[in-house]
A and B are shown apart, each in its own frame.
Chain A
């Protein structure tokens, strides 16, 4: 948050992220809501990039804007009541309570955390030189395959199981014979 460019980028992206997130809740048309959700994801990716986490930012675009949004769209298109509005729901009160609780928790965490400004410690220089900036993807890769190998492998196994389950659910009954020929 030192130079003008970062400040402008931060506020633009913050307004874009929160504004689109608000529109997801407000807008009546479900497909429009998904499009706003994608905009919100892009804003978050931009925020990651202003924080010098370029790999996370690009991965956010690849996974959330590209893949998760399509998943949401498929879910909407395949839902029998896809034509109905965004607003009809009997869960308003629980949703409001949950939203207030989450907002309180995040706000509390934001206020109570002892934020370190860049430059105060050696671990967080204000302008990382080009060399220090290079390693985000490598550092994440090393951490995933070294320190966090077990969660990584468990996640991989979980996804394989999910994929097999999806294939079994999708496969129509009685097509095995013709499929083999």
Chain B
């Protein structure tokens, strides 16, 4: 917290994230209209979307629905997918990484070879194939993203576990006769928490971007359920005449991803200075 305090950028990111969570939770009360309701006066006489005005603050979309309400409810979708996909990815990644780093032997090397293999997988292509072939629902999209994102976490956790396993204190508890699960969960995993927290935060940014990309291709969360990506997907043919339909949800995606990236980066510095160069991101400030 102290490190966050000294970093104004990270602090504002945290405030933004809290506001976003607040808006997502309170969506039914703060959204001016139901997100899926189409309005007769929401389109021009020619049937085109309305620009931002007094009734519809951020304008209306191609079906005459209120964009502001859809964006607010879209925050729900993004956060749910962000949290679910990321938790699953963290769980798989940590489990694989810890097991491989601690067990060594053939289990360890088999798991890591498999992870190496997954690193060579064209991830986006894989996600698109999976999402296109299943009928995409919120949960399928979250799972698809998790299937793609666990790999890097597994690698990082593996490296950390492998070095932890050689440290004196682990040797000490092993020689005192502690059982393997006890050594792992009482002594090794707590040391991994900073890494897990940092990757969990950064991972939400990646997840939000990937969800938006899948939705933009039409294979993410399906309309009428609003997601920032599918608002753009549905309205992209109007982008020349009604650019707000693309840029308002676009800005929402970017803001959310920036906030989680900034916060994750600050947490990395605060929690674990040895992580600085991983993922090709330098330490700053």
User: Do A and B come from the same complex?
Assistant: no
Residues of chain B at the chain A interface (Cβ within 8 Å): none
